[in-house]
Amino acid sequence: MPKTLVRASEVAEFAYCRRAWWYARQGYPSAHLDQQTTGTKLHARHGRRVMAARFARYFGFVLLLLSVVGAAVYLLTVALG
């Protein structure tokens, strides 16, 4: 028997309404395609924002590291110089 992948959204759909889950498995189209499309777009936008926030955080860490190294170099040149 082949293993099937069960996604979290499927579990949520089953928990919310077993009949809707069954209809989806039978290939019936959803009556809420416009809401699903909107939700997909919102999730994609959220994902882009999360990636931008991660990039900004890493960029901030790099700037912080560069400033600490720059301050150390400056203090060493003043102390030795």
Q: H helices within the chain, ranges in order? A: 8-16, 18-26, 33-80
Task: Give me the chain's average pLDDT, please.
Answer: 91
> pLDDT class for 25, splitting at 50, 70, 90?
confident
Q: What is the C-alpha to C-alpha distance for residues 80 and 74, in angstroms, rounded to an integer?
A: 10
Highest mean pLDDT among 6-15, 19-28, 71-80: 71-80
36 Cβ contact list (under 8 Å, min separation 6): 30
Q: State whether residue 41 is helix, strand or coil.
A: helix
Residues in the chain: 81
Question: How many Cβ atoms are within 10 Å of 23's Cβ, its own excluded?
Answer: 15
Angle of helix 18-26 relative to helix 8-16, nearest 10 degrees, comes to 130
